[in-house]
Structure 1
Amino acid sequence: MNARPVLVFDGDCGFCTTSVNFAERRIRPDCTTVAWQFADLDALGVTEERARHEVLWVTPNGRVYGGAAGVAKLLMRAGGVWAPLGAALMIPPVSWLAAGVYRLVARNRQRLPGGTAACALPPPPGARR
């Protein structure tokens, strides 16, 4: 396992890639970033299904945080002014709101700046088309 946490994101999504590039430049978390399409998901202990639907934060000991909790862990790892914001995102009821906002953004990422049709999430298994 890595000595640093790993941030797994959707490399086919322009919005996700832009967001990760912003985080690397401005927030500067001490982590490794990798598109799930190029990651050894088995070694990270995550499924492709999960990686397709949310950003994932994988700790060095293998614990996985997804979605808003993954973003919170990234902010906490960055330290400085970002750490308290990340910590707040982990505490209810803020965590509930953050999860809702994350899901809203994830479902509409193809409509956001940098987003393309490739950013659209596939429908959940068994969903009507």
Structure 2
Amino acid sequence: MIEIGILRPDGLYIQAIAATSEAALALHPPGTLLVPLRPSEHHEWQGDSWAYVPPVPGVPASVTRAQALVALHEAGLLPAVEAAVEAHTYEVLRIWWRNALSFERANPYLNALADELELSAEDVDSLFLAAATRL
């Protein structure tokens, strides 16, 4: 028995144990390749070898107040956000903004402000990703 890597034409990678490589290939469609074992889940087959592809960081669930303010400042959005907060008719939202120690991505006040400022979910995710890199 040997451990082998199999890469199908549809891009599916399979790590298998088989008696022979020919026996393993016989189970898959034409164009299937025998390849070296994939070094990690962060490797993709490129041409004739595995290439490392860094993982995409996930959007953090929360960032500190300082991180959020710096990210908004760097994006040029801080004055607009502060103006929207001060003009908001809902006092609880203003209290939350002024006193929050951290900002959670799923917070309904945050998402309401984003909607009012016409920021998409992707825009907010990008701000959270940028904020997470700030000290």
Do the two structures share a fold, i.e. TM-score over 0.5? Answer: no
When normalised by structure 2's length, the TM-score is 0.26
Which structure shows the bigger proportion of residues in helix conformation?
1
Which structure shows the bigger proportion of residues in strand conformation?
2
When normalised by structure 1's length, the TM-score is 0.27
**Quick check: which has more Rg, 1 or 2?**
2
